[in-house]
Structure 1
Amino acid sequence: MFRTLLALFAALLLAACGDGNAPKLNTGMPAPAFATVRLDGSPVRYPDDFKGKPVVIRFWADWCPYCEGEMQDIDKVYPPLHAKGLEVLAVNVGQDHATASAFITRLAIHYPALLDEQAEITRRYGVIGLPTTYFVGADGVIKAKAVGEADAATFSRLAGALLQ
């Protein structure tokens, strides 16, 4: 019950802080471009760095009650999907490097975590609740969207469809 109330509060907080003109991204729409850095400091430019590759873009924060379990589930299925060409980008929403890094280190996550300290990417994607995950085809078009916690089987199914 507490986790549900906390998730509802977090979603309302994100919505209240959001831009009323934020896009409503849905399947069939192109995924917005962005530039940021990984936790290791290396630059990331989407889609330029990922041309011709399917990419999963997920938004998370350490205060999100559902993000921890989902990130661990994704980490379990990431290696075989990555070996087939899938990229996963975990975009931290509005937190500093130290906070995001501590969370990723504690969970021993192996896929790339990116910083979005000012939540600019988050707004561009119209995210109003966490976790939110976009499944983007190699053509740069959003094929699926998951709002809320998705288990490993759901993630594998949606991510695997990008590799077909």
Structure 2
Amino acid sequence: MRVIRLLAILLLLAGCGEEGGKAPHVGDAPPPFKLTAMDGAAVDYPAQLSGKVVVLRFWATWCPFCKDEMKMIQAVWSQSRDKGFEVLAINAGQDKGDIDAFIAKLGVTYPVLLDPGSKVTRQYGVTGLPMTLFVGRDGRIKGRILGETDEATFRRKLEELL
């Protein structure tokens, strides 16, 4: 069953068509989106986070690298959010029910966004998980990590922007 879910999500991510996009590059302004957070709040990016350093994090519960990184990001976010830093953890197309227990077990309190049908994930050209974008206060992408990262690298990229 887990393999079938993985294949279904990979097919969604690989989907070509009008909604598919190319991954934004360093220096680009990331595409805007409106998604719903796990707590039901509407998130309008970038309008609601203008002037903040934002980490856009694409992930899924089945991703073997996402679990530890999400815990690490929680620690960094807890220490740095009062400096004008926000994390938006965009789940790649899974159901809310599949995400709830995962998030609760990890103790994640930063915004986790639902991306039904992986529309935003495809718009951002995500080809593998996790994918992390660092967006500066000017609204431009300053860094991108595809795959797993360690805490030192994550902190260094963040500190450069704060």
TM-score (norm 2): 0.89
Question: 1:120/1:79 Cα in 2 relative to 1: closer, same or farther (>3 Å)?
Answer: same
Question: 1:44/1:16 Cα in 2 relative to 1: closer, same or farther (>3 Å)?
Answer: closer
Report the alpha carbon displacement of residue 15 of structure 1 after superposing the two structures with TM.
Answer: 7.8
Question: 1:153/1:19 Cα in 2 relative to 1: closer, same or farther (>3 Å)?
Answer: same
Matches within 5 A, 1:69-88: 69-88=68-87
Listed one character per residue, the Cα deviations across residues 32-79 of structure 1 (whole Å, up to 9, x for unaligned) are 100011100010000010011110000000000000011111111111
Any runs of at least 4 consecutive aligned residues in structure 1 with deviations exceeding 2 A, and if so which?
12-21
- 2:108 counterpart letter in structure 1: I
Matches within 5 A, 1:18-97: 18-19=15-16, 21-97=20-96
Aligned equivalent of 2:101: 102
Listed one character per residue, the Cα deviations across residues 79-135 of structure 1 (whole Å, up to 9, x for unaligned) are 121111100110000101111122111111121100002101101111000000000
Unaligned runs of 5+ in 2: none
Percent same amino acid among aligned pairs? Answer: 46
Report the alpha carbon displacement of residue 14 of structure 1 after superposing the two structures with TM.
Answer: 5.2
Verify: 1:17 aligned to 2:14, yes or no.
yes
- 1:46 counterpart letter in structure 2: Y
Aligned equivalent of 2:153: 154
Count matched residues. Answer: 155
Output the CA distance in 2 between the equivalents of 1:109 and 1:14: 28
TM-score (norm 1): 0.88
